[in-house]
Structure 1
């Protein structure tokens, strides 16, 4: 993500609220805004979702499995997150017609990648 500012657009704030609702259901998630204005959702200080806005364009980055990243990169609108894409981070722009059920799955996957095994196990067991 480039040096983005904090999210201020209605589209960005709506997306941030959707992501916040998804993340609130996961154990020990903390929301944090960094010095660049990026909003991140973290578990045990490890980010798994990051958002930022630059000139009205809102980007969302999620920590995905390499296979998920490979799949998403073949879809229109998805790209490797600058600087951290080699670690599985995949980005896309917020827009009106996002499939939030699909994004919920990617956020859940990101959480499982970032969370300690004890928390990941709790969440995995709850989903079964």
Structure 2
């Protein structure tokens, strides 16, 4: 297991009620059964849910780091390349935002929407 995947697991599983399940031969992170982050291992990347319009902005700003993932890209999800030296603060913020978009509203409200301060 790579150090990057270990770090990603720590970020994802620190969120309220988050759990990991392997699906489609890849780690997925869920809150109450709903996926908020998928980790792809070759090449190492994640897919996260993003607010409307964010996908286009991120890809336009840094196409070497962000991409439109297959299957979920048309729903606004964004792919994040984790090869090289990822910005872990940025990764954590994206994962937390995705969690807050997927988590039930009452849980997100109790958790302070899990948005970074």
TM-score category of the 2 structures, normalised to the smaller one: 0.7 to 0.9
Taking a change above 3 Å as real, the CA distance of residues 79 and 120 of structure 1, as seen in their structure-2 partners, is same
Name the structure 1 match of 2:67.
79
Aligned pair count reads 114
Name the structure 2 match of 1:24.
13
Scaled by the length of structure 2, what TM-score is found?
0.86
CA distance in 1, matches of 2:79, 2:54: 12
Task: Name structure 1 gaps, 5 residues minimum.
Answer: 1-7
Q: CA deviation at 1:93?
A: 2.2
Say what the alpha-carbon RMSD is for the aligned residues: 1.8
TM superposition outliers: structure 1 runs of 4+ over 6 Å: none
Task: Name structure 2 gaps, 5 residues minimum.
Answer: none
Bigger Rg over Cα: 1
From 114, 117, 121, the equivalent of 2:102 is 114
Name the structure 2 match of 1:43.
31
CA distance in 2, matches of 1:61, 1:90: 6
CA distance in 2, matches of 1:126, 1:82: 27
Tell me if the contact between 2:100 and 2:114 (Cα under 8 Å) persists in the aligned partners: no
Scaled by the length of structure 1, what TM-score is found?
0.80
